[in-house]
Structure 1
Amino acid sequence: MKVLEAAMELERPTTDQQKIDHVTRRITEHGNYLRQRYPILQHQNALGAGVMAVSLIGMVVSGGLYLQGSIPAWGCILINALLTSFIHEIEHDLIHRLYFRKQPLAHNAMMFLCWLARPGMPSPWLRRSLHFHHHKESGTETDVEAWITTSGSPWGVLRLLKLVDGFIFGFLNAVFAPGWREKVRLLVKIVRLNTPFGLLYWGCWYVFLGYHLYAWLGAVSGHEVHSSATTLAVMDVVNSVVVILVAPNLIRQFCLFFISSNMHYYGDVAPRNALQQTQVMNAWWLWPFQLFCFNFGSTHSIHHFVVRDPFYLRQMTAPYAHQVMAEAGVRFNDFGTYKRANRYSLAHTHTRSRG
Structure 2
Amino acid sequence: MATAPARGKSATDKTIQREILAISDDIRQRHGWLKHQNAIGFGIFAIAIAGCTLNAVLYLQGLMPAWAVILLTAFWTSLLHELEHDLIHWMYFKNNKLVHHLMMLGVYLWRPTTINPWVRRHLHFHHHKHSGSETDLEERGITNGEKWGLKRLIMVGDNMLAVYLRAIKYLTEPVRLYRRGIITRKDIRNFRLIGLVSYNPLGVIVHAIWHGFVLYHLLNGIAWLAGTSIAWPEVMTAQLSWITPLVVILIAPNMLRTFCLHFISSNMHYYGDNEPGKITEQCQVLNVWWLWPLQAFCFNFGSTHAIHHFVVRDPFYIRQMTAKRAHRVLKENGVRFNDLGTFRRANRMHEKPQAAL
Q: Mapping of 1:56-71 within 5 angstroms?
A: 56-71=49-64
Which secondary structure does the structure 1 equivalent of 2:112 belong to?
Answer: coil
Q: Superposition pairs for residues 205-354 of structure 1, below 5 Å?
A: 205-227=210-232, 230-345=235-350, 347-348=351-352
Distance 2:154 2:164 in 1: 12
1:220 positional shift:
3.4
The percentage of counterpart residues that share the same residue type is 46
Contact 1:174–1:187 (Cα < 8 Å) also in 2: no
Amino acid at match of 2:334: G
Partners of 1:267 and 1:252 lie apart in 2 by 27
Bigger fraction of residues in helix: 1
Deviates more, 1:303-312 or 1:35-44: 35-44
Q: Post-superposition, which runs of at least 4 consecutive aligned residues in structure 1 deviate over 6 A?
A: 178-182, 185-188
Give, as a single letter, the amino acid of the residue that structure 1 aligns with 2:109. L
**TM-score (norm. length: structure 2):** 0.88
Shift of 1:225: 4.0
Which residue matches 1:141? 134
Q: 2-side partners of 1:125 and 1:309: how far apart?
A: 20
Superposed CA deviations along residues 181-206 of structure 1, whole A, max 9, x for unmatched, are 98xx9898645322121122101101
TM-score, structure 1 as length reference: 0.88
Distance 1:189 1:339 in 2: 30
Cα drift, residue 279 of structure 1: 0.6
The AA in structure 2 aligned to 1:145 is E
SS class of match (1:339): helix
The offset of 1:33, in angstroms, is 1.2
Counterpart for residue 11 of structure 1: none
Task: Flag the structure with more relative contact order, 1 or 2, with Cα contacts below 8 A and sequence separation at least 6.
Answer: 2
Taking structure 1 as reference, are residues 191 and 217 closer, same or farther at Cα in structure 2, changes over 3 Å only?
farther
Contact 1:138/1:277, CA 8 A, preserved across alignment = yes
Q: Distance in 1 between matches of 2:283 and 2:173?
A: 36
Q: Distance in 1 between matches of 2:205 and 2:281?
A: 38
SS in 1 for 2:239: helix
Distance 1:105 1:230 in 2: 42
Distance 1:188 1:170 in 2: 14
**Partner SS state of residue 12, structure 2:** helix
Structure 2: distance between partners of 1:189 and 1:270: 26
**Would you say the 8 A contact 1:252–1:292 is kept in 2?**
yes
Aligned length: 333
| Structure 1: gaps of 5 or more residues | 1-14, 351-355
Residues 299 and 178 of structure 1: CA distance in aligned 2, closer, same or farther (over 3 Å):
closer
2:9/2:277 contact within 8 Å kept: no
Contact 1:339 1:349 in 2 (8 A): no
36, 39, 46: which one aligns with 2:32: 39
> Structure 1 residue 75 and structure 2 residue 80: aligned?
no
